[in-house]
Structure 1
Amino acid sequence: MSGALGTVRVVGTGLVGTSLALALRAKGVDTVLWDPSPSAVALSRDLGAGRFAAADDEVALVVVAAPPDVVADVVASELATHPQAVVTDVASVKAQPLRQLTARGVDVSRYVGGHPLAGRERSGAVAARADLFTGRPWVLTPAASTDPEAVELVRRVVELTGAVVTQMPADEHDEAVAVVSHVPQVAASLVAARLREVPEPSVALAGQGLRDVTRIAASDPQLWTQILAGNAAAVARALHALRDDLDVVIAAVDALGADSGAEAPGARAAVARVVAAGNEGHARIPGKHGSAPTAYTPVVVLVPDRPGELARLLQAVGDAGVNLEDLRLEHSEGRPMALAEIDVLPAAAAGLAGSLRAGGWTVHL
């Protein structure tokens, strides 16, 4: 299949561009690399992502992995430079580049907007992974005038990375990612920012909940400024809705805090409704491999913080004949131990707990 695709040119050799190139090289695709930084493209080449681009390359597809604020400029340039090639991009905002291209009169029949919903907290080619997109959504947002054959070519290339392709209009995509990606980034950053003025002994109390909520707060400020600016209207709508909900919570806890909440009719119900609504929303998040949401039972095991202990635990789970659905580790302050929370199907939980206890593990179920 890959042999019929032709040469793929990757413009931009950061995390996403290099990961894409590594994934395509693993499938035997001829991949050429270009980046305005010679050292960046050389590093990507040295990592095995492809070869240096040459002026006489006959390119079938160009993938633009440029920053969101310049992606329209780069797409327009690549369309002009490679008049026979299809051009796609990986920017996380889709409506703005399309509007900018059409406003300039650019023929977008060979342009297919794209957005892989995959990434890491680390950036740059050194953080790239060939399996970065495996099982992750990759949205295509072709314009009404885009050639269906161009869409099909991009779909075939994306599927080689292991991503799950979906298609929607650019505006619909931007409204969706505002809620599932962009606002969560803002929320995580705001929560993490509160820690700046908290005394060290208080920060030391942080548990897995805080780590889960703030994990993405370590993201690149410059990149996220560009993303939020590019999708400002959709993000603003989602943030206003979030603020309305937050105002309800603030009013309720203010009432509860006054005179110990003795005279706060309706406040507890307001808080309960917010938490219950969160339960309903969380239940809609897709399960493993994009399947329907599945309820798992956590089996919590105390693991000594020594080399080989986690591997020994995983071997014990396998020996019990139980499929591990998910795994989280939480380290306790001041203790050389960790809590391993193993998610399994409910029917398997009791049997696994019994098997682990018989093997000498301390289990909480």
Structure 2
Amino acid sequence: MITRRMLLSGIAASAAAAGTGLTLASGRAGAAQRPTSAAETLPLTVVNKTGQFGNASVWLYIVGNDGHQQVRVTPDGALAPVAASDNGADGFADYAIPLAANGDTRLTLPRMSGRIYVALGAKLKFKVVTDGAGKAALQYPAGWVSGDPNYQVMHDCAEFTFNAAGMFCNTTMVDMFSVPLAIRLTGAKDQTTGALKDGARAKVFSDLRAVDAYQKLIVGDDLRVIAPGHGMGAGLFAPDYFASYIDRVWDTYGSKDLKVTTNAGTFTGRVSGGRLSFTGPAAVAFDKPSTKDVLFCDGALAAPNDGTTGPVAAILGAGFNRTTLHDTAAQPTADPAAFYGEPVTHHYARAMHAATADGKAYGFAFDDVADFASYIQDTAPTGITLTLTPF
């Protein structure tokens, strides 16, 4: 399965230009291709059910890479490389695809990996810059950075990889949440994910306003809520928020075993010398993580694609974010009733999962552990529908 971590393996923070956006690096995104019946193109339907914005006030952007270069999709469905010459007099590239004047918008999606952005009320400003290799690279919106030119624009995105192996896609709240989106993928199966319960967008904001540590993550009059990791970088979230819980986990497993089961088998770990060290199918060890490591599932919890350390790191990351790790010595935990039960927990992810109709969301990068991510895939896709659901 192409998880979000694999799908987005090419996305990295950029110091280009003002250093406020993301650039999508050329190179592999997703798993290796394998022969299937996936077509060269896929019908994409965009449905506007916001109830607050007419089609004329909504713009679409399909951007990413094709495995060789950074690309964008034109309104007629063509795949075009991004180029610095696309930047206009204002310094930004207008890659907007307007919605149909009325009804649903039907487009053609070529093979690529990237994001489908939606902007409501105003267009987004993308900028083509030059990366370290001298190639054209696209600087993405960063709604968690107050100096970003798109900070005041309501926008959000879905992520996907469409290649010879099929379609792999998700809705994501890993960076921020603003526009409720749902994906329907048809093909070998008919699947939907990302849909919110009635009134859930407003409840996300009210739930987070009720938690002191998370109140500052809300931007404007419910324009968006920023994920706590990015909030920490902006000085809006405590850098030691998870410290007490991390200490409890480290203290607990200094005197008893922690067992983590992956596809490779069961690993048995103990904290010794400040490190959580596992034996089993392979010897793997982890330094004590920081709050930043937990929120970004990186640093001490980085997950290499090696089949051993990576899966254990992912399960540990999920256990920290869901705060199940201290009380449950056999991981991963698959009962959502046990998630987010501590006072110090990932309340942002909790609110996102509570909002969705199927209980699945991408509140943090390892939310795919035990299949709780808003992710679907099909190796023989026939169509995809992105719906801007009611607010």
TM-score by length of 2: 0.24
More helix by share: 1
Q: Per chain length, whose mean CA-contact separation is higher, i.e. which structure has more relative contact order (CA < 8 Å, sep 6+)? A: 2
TM-score by length of 1: 0.25
